[in-house]
Amino acid sequence: MTSSTLPQSDCTIRSAADLLLRWPAQEPLAALVSGGTLESQNAWTILARPVETIVIAADSTATDALAQLELALSRTPRPSVPRSHDARDIPFTGGWILALGYALGECFEPRAVCDAQPAAASPRAVLHWCADAWCFDHTTSTLHAIGNPPALSSPTETPAWQLHSMHPRESDAHYAASVARAIEYIRAGDAYQANIARRFDGVLSGSARAFAHAAISENHAWFGACVDLPGGGCLVSMSPELFLRVSHDGRIATRPIKGTRSADVPARELLESTKDCAELAMIVDLMRNDLGRVAEIGSVEVAQSRVLETHRTVHHGVAEIRARLRNDVSWMDVLRATFPPGSVTGAPKVRAMQIIQELEETERGFYCGGIGFISASGNAALSVAIRTAQLGAADADNARALAYHAGCGIVIESELAAEVAETHTKARAVFQLAQSGDVDPS
């Protein structure tokens, strides 16, 4: 496998998201697009061509699902002898670009399944094997060719798209009732925190990739994604949250988000909130425990207990936990220990997942799962699939159903009106993209 470097001037690249519009329309695409303020977490963008796709079906048993996943991940084993780290290494040198659905977590945590489980339609996971890719280094503004990726086209007029008919699947009152029930469980001692989500539906007409370009660009998504799904669907993510990053030398990090305020209000409102501080502290403890299952003894550390991140529409409270993986740990072991992400389940994780299944009326699909890559080089990175739209196949009029979720971490101090408002704040990432006058986000 080879790589070559092309200077930015030869490619006329204004932003990494622009590469989505230059990818050949007839070629399948699995793209992880970084944006926003440049940080070490989002220094690379990857656009890859799937040559093989493994689908773990919604109706597969836990045993079959895990067997399929383990067999697939065995093609990208972790290095048995950790190599020295080079910050300039290209993170993706071919391997898997994958979308893990939230329901995959039931396979790792079978006790989380309850009788009230909604009927599933989305696959548990989709894994694209990609040998050919363009990797864009944001620090040097250079493109690197991995394998033999398709030629990028010259910039042209952006294809048309329109997002319309956006509306919540359930009323604010109904969502508030679910939050109230979650608080009852917390008061009874069942859990400390549970993340309760609601779904918004809409219709996208026109180009899904042009929509992805606008969504990622306008929201300055740190961990954006545009991943084709089998059957003609597509995932478009504007995620701000890193689930896992693993370096080939065995270092692992997670950056859970807890605590949200609209970007229109002063950031100190979030910083001074003891309730939001407690939310994050609970998840930090959970993630320390999760990483501890696969880490070298004594290597787990809280690098940042709570910092503020401001994105286009929201302020977030964020922590970072780091560790070093044991040499005998596989990718399957890492996922088994940590998936689904604790920030979108709650604590303790299994009981929180049971409460989520009872109180949420629609399946999450890929929302609250993970999107990212596992490279043959030994590197991996997965975002938490929040701020993520799941698009269905296009109909005869080139229109697609769009599903979008927003959720809140519910604790004993949660106020119903505030949690309802937070879902609308988080939904702004997609509502502000709506181009017609029939949008009703209330």
The token duo for 388 is: 């993520």
Reply yes or no on whether 349 is catalytic.
Answer: no
Please state, in angstroms and as integers, the Cα–Cα distance from residue 39 to each residue in 18, 34, 44, 263, 273, following that order. 19, 10, 10, 20, 26
Phi, psi of 62 (to 5 degrees): -60, -40
Q: Residues 6 or more apart from 46 whose CB is under 8 A from it?
A: 31, 32, 91, 92, 97, 133, 134, 135, 136, 373
- CA-CA distance, 99 to 89, in Å (whole number)? 24
Reply yes or no on whether 241 is catalytic.
Answer: yes
Under a CB-based contact definition with an 8 Å cutoff, are residues 411 and 422 in contact? no
Please state, in angstroms and as integers, the Cα–Cα distance from residue 396 to each residue in 159, 205, 399, 400, following that order. 17, 11, 7, 10
DSSP H helices, 74-171, are 105-108
C-alpha dihedral sign at 61, 64, 66, 68: negative
Unique residue bearing structure tokens 């950031």: 267
Under a CB-based contact definition with an 8 Å cutoff, are residues 404 and 361 in contact? no
Q: Of the residues 109, 258, 320, 426, which is catalytic?
A: 258
The token duo for 264 is: 């229109």
Strands 388-391 and 3-7: unpaired
Under a CB-based contact definition with an 8 Å cutoff, are residues 160 and 398 in contact? no
Under a CB-based contact definition with an 8 Å cutoff, are residues 84 and 329 in contact? no
- CA-CA distance, 426 to 377, in Å (whole number)? 35
Q: Of the residues 52, 109, 184, 241, which is catalytic?
A: 241
> Looking at residue 428, what DSSP letter applies?
H
Catalytic residue set: 241, 258
